[in-house]
């Protein structure tokens, strides 16, 4: 179980950073009164990044379950 802690914490950290980024831009854009389409673009980009992080996390968990703990060692 300890081998899953680092990938999960790393994924959570990136998701939190992306969420903070989106909140920051929403606050900035709300004060600047920019077009709503920009908010949609930022939200879609953030969702895509979060989905990518989730896919990478599940891929890493599958690797760990198969016993590939040191995937860099094969290069």
Could you tell me the pTM of the whole model?
0.76
pLDDT at 73 over 70: no
pLDDT digit string, tens, across residues 2-48: 788 888 999 999 999 999 998 888 887 777 666 778 888 888 999 99
Q: Where are the domains of the chain?
A: 2-74
List Cβ neighbours of 43 (8 Å cut-off, separation of 6 or more). 22
Of 73 and 14, the structure prediction assigns the larger pLDDT to 14
Residues across the chain: 75
């Amino acid at each position: 179980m300890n081998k899953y802690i680092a990938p999960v914490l790393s994924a959570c950290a990136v998701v939190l950073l992306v969420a903070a980024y989106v909140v920051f831009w929403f606050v900035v854009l709300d004060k600047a009164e920019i077009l709503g389409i920009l908010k949609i673009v930022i939200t879609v980009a953030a969702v895509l990044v979060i989905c990518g992080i989730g896919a990478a996390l599940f891929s890493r968990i599958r690797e760990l379950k198969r016993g590939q703990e040191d995937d860099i060692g094969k290069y």
